[in-house]
Structure 1
Amino acid sequence: MQTLATAFAVLTLLLSLPAHAADIDVENQSSWEIHEIYFSPSDEENWGEDHLGEHVLESGMTLSLTGVTPGEWDIRLVDEDEDVCVLQGVTVSASETWLIEDDDLVDCQAATEE
């Protein structure tokens, strides 16, 4: 009986802990190089740092971000032609891979221009 009580106590403790940080892989499957990637919590005004810095996310490459706090995020991408794509309110709840594909990037850029 002690083992069951201990297991229940551990389970209760685990459920009360905050959500674990996520690892996000951003994979560029588009025809364009991505030159800038910014992330900002949706409730903030500033974009913060460019996660690529001096690097470029070429077609076929992946950017790995670790320790991302679960929640709502806005994402800003800038491609080689300086076209901008802004995604708002992207939910991060677990580790996952995000694919950047041609159609999605073009549609996002068109929506961002409006």
Structure 2
Amino acid sequence: MKAWHLLVAAAVAYVPTTALAAKVEFVNKSSWEIHEIYFSPASQKDWGEDYLGDEVLEKGDSLTLSDVSEGDWDVLVVDEDGDKCEITDVTIDSSDRWVITDKDLLACQANS
């Protein structure tokens, strides 16, 4: 599993009914709130809608999603400062626990 894993659950919007479903727990262990999360199948370039909408994944909060399509996804996360972190080719398996840390967000910031 990659060091940085976060919300690939909006994949549900792209899921064909015959796809295998997964359960994913996302944990924000960073010092920043997560304000926006976007998903795209790894083979597509469109992000779609913000998965969180008006909600915020606060520091220390977790979110569990079920019926997420297994497969490869791209994820875009925007923190409370507006910093963007794009992770490509994230693989969702049948049951995952993904954690985002300060180190992960700062690494994205350094690479942008």
* TM-score class normalised by the smaller sequence: 0.7 to 0.9
Larger % of strand: which?
2
Structure 1 residue aligned with 2:83: 83
Shift of 1:50: 1.2
Unaligned runs of 5+ in 1: 1-17
CA drift of 1:63 comes to 2.1
Please report the TM-score for the alignment, with normalisation by the length of structure 1. Answer: 0.77
Q: Distance in 1 between matches of 2:26 and 2:33?
A: 13
Q: Which is richer in helix?
A: 1
Pairwise CA distance, 1:67: 1.2
The RMSD of aligned alpha carbons is 1.3
Determine the structure 2 residue equivalent to 1:46. 46
Name 1:56's counterpart in structure 2: 56
Larger Rg: 1
SS of 2:110's equivalent? helix
Residue segments in structure 2 that go unaligned for 5+ positions in a row: 1-17
Distance 2:110 2:63 in 1: 24
Structure of greater relative contact order (alpha carbons < 8 Å, 6+ residues apart): 2
Name the residue aligned to 1:24: 24
Q: TM-score, normalised by structure 2?
A: 0.79
* Count of residues paired in the alignment: 95
CA deviation map 1:69-91 (0-9, x unaligned): 11110010000000000000011
Alpha-carbon distance, 1:19 to partner: 6.2
